[in-house]
Amino acid sequence: MLATVALFLSACQGQTPLAPQQPATGKTLTIATSFYPVYVATVNVAGDIPGVRVVNLTQPSTGCLHDYQLKPDDLKTLSETQILVVNGAGMESFLDKVVAQQPHIKIVDASEGIQLIKGDEGDNPHVWVSVSNAIQQVENIGLQLAKMDPDHAAQYSANANAYIERLGALRDKMRQALDGANNRDIITFHEAFPYFAREFNLNIVAVIVREPGSEPSAAELTDTIETVRSAKIMALFAEPQYTAKAAETIARETGAKVFILDPVVTGPMEPDAYIKIMESNLTILEEALK
C-alpha cells in the first residue's frame, strides 16, 4: 500500500505551500515540487495559471534533513500529483522509489544541463544558490512543463521569461556590487555555496561543518582556526537554518566576525522570496568583504 511505503528525501526543506488556485471549470493539474527553492522557481512559472495547482511536497522543517521521511500526507499528495518538479543533481534520493510507486507521475529535472561541482560525497546538488543556475532551472522548468502540458505552453513560457528577466537583473546587480570586493577568501558553514562562489569569483578556503546538523570535531575546529589565522580571514558565514555555535567559537579564537548567509532552503512561500533573500545576502556580503 502507498501509505506504508517509507521513502527518504535527501533535500533541504521548505514550508507550507500557498493555498492552491482553483480553476473556474475543468480538472486541476497538480504540480508538486520536491522542496523550497524548487517550489519558489515553479510557482513563478506556473502559479498564476488557471487550472494549475502548485504544491510543495515535503513537510515544513528547518534546514537540510538528509534522512527526511515522507509522511502519509506527502504520499497522499504524490498520489494526486501529475507532475513532480525536482532539483535533480542527486538531491532527491527518493526519486527512483517515487517513480516506481507512482508511474503516472511525470518528472521535471530542474538541473538538466547544469555543470555540476564535485563535492566530498559526489556531485554537489546546491545548484540553485548560483543565480545563473537558478535561471537555468527556471528555463528548464518552463520548457519541460510546456511539453508536458501543451494547453498552457504559452503561459509557462511567458512566465518563465518574465522571471528569468528579473533574475538576470538580480545577477547583474550582484556582480557589479561584488566585483569591487577587496577580500574574496571566505569560510562558509557547509558545502552549500560552491556554485555561488564560482559565480561571483569568491574563494571558499574552508568549510566549518561537512554535514549539516553535526558539530565539527576538536581537530576540525583547530584546523579551521589555523586556516583563518594564516589566511587572515575576517569574515565567517553561518546559515540561518543552523546554530552558529561553531562559527562563534572560531570567531572568538581569531577575531573574525560572524555573518549570516542564507542558502535559500527555507523562507516565505512567496514568488519573490528567492530574489529578496539574495538581495539580503548581497547586503551582508558587501559589508563582510570590505
4 band by pLDDT with thresholds 50, 70 and 90: very low
Higher pLDDT, 11 or 49: 49
Rounded Cα distance, 278 and 170, in Å: 8
Indicate whether 105 and 158 sit together in one domain. yes
Phi, psi of 119 (to 5 degrees): -115, -170
157-169 tens-digit pLDDT: 999 999 999 999 9
Contact 145, 58 (CB under 8 A): no
32-85 tens-digit pLDDT: 999 999 999 999 999 999 999 999 987 655 456 455 677 788 888 888 999 999
Where do we find the cell 522570496? 273
Indicate whether 191 and 165 sit together in one domain. no
Q: What percent of the chain has pLDDT over 70?
A: 84
**Boundary-marking domain end, from 173, 207, 237:** 173
Instruction: Give the model's pLDDT for residue 210.
Output: 67
Contact 84, 57 (CB under 8 A): yes
- When mean pLDDT is compared across 63-67, 89-93, 102-106, 146-150, the lowest value belongs to 63-67
Q: Considering only CA atoms, which of 201, 256, 263 is closest in space to residue 229?
A: 256
Indicate whether 142 and 198 sit together in one domain. no
Indicate whether 9 and 105 sit together in one domain. yes
Q: Considering only CA atoms, which of 111, 73, 119 is closest in space to residue 92?
A: 111
Count of domains for the chain: 2
**Boundary-marking domain end, from 143, 173, 203:** 173
**Boundary-marking domain end, from 173, 188, 214:** 173
Q: State the cell numbers at 88.
A: 535533480
Contact 273, 244 (CB under 8 A): no
Indicate whether 77 and 163 sit together in one domain. yes
Q: What percent of the chain has pLDDT over 90?
A: 57
| Distances, alpha carbon 10 to alpha carbons 19, 166, 205, in Å | 25, 29, 26
Instruction: Tell me which residue range forms the domain holding 191.
Output: 178-288
Q: Can you give the CATH number for the domain in which 284 is found?
A: 3.40.50.1980
Higher pLDDT, 216 or 52: 52
Contact 92, 86 (CB under 8 A): yes
Indicate whether 113 and 189 sit together in one domain. no
Indicate whether 106 and 22 sit together in one domain. yes
Indicate whether 208 and 125 sit together in one domain. no
Instruction: Give the model's pLDDT for residue 13.
Output: 40
Higher pLDDT, 125 or 62: 125
Query: Which helix H or strand E contains 235, and what residues bound it?
Result: strand 235-238
Indicate whether 162 and 125 sit together in one domain. yes
Indicate whether 126 and 233 sit together in one domain. no
Under 8 Å CB-to-CB from 232, ≥6 apart: which residues?
none
Please tell me the pTM assigned to this model: 0.87
Q: What is the mean pLDDT of residues 105-130?
A: 92
Measured CA angle at 75 (ends 70, 79), to 5 deg = 155
Rounded Cα distance, 165 and 79, in Å: 34
Indicate whether 137 and 11 sit together in one domain. yes
Query: Which helix H or strand E contains 8, and what residues bound it?
Result: strand 8-12
Indicate whether 32 and 156 sit together in one domain. yes
Contact 264, 274 (CB under 8 A): yes
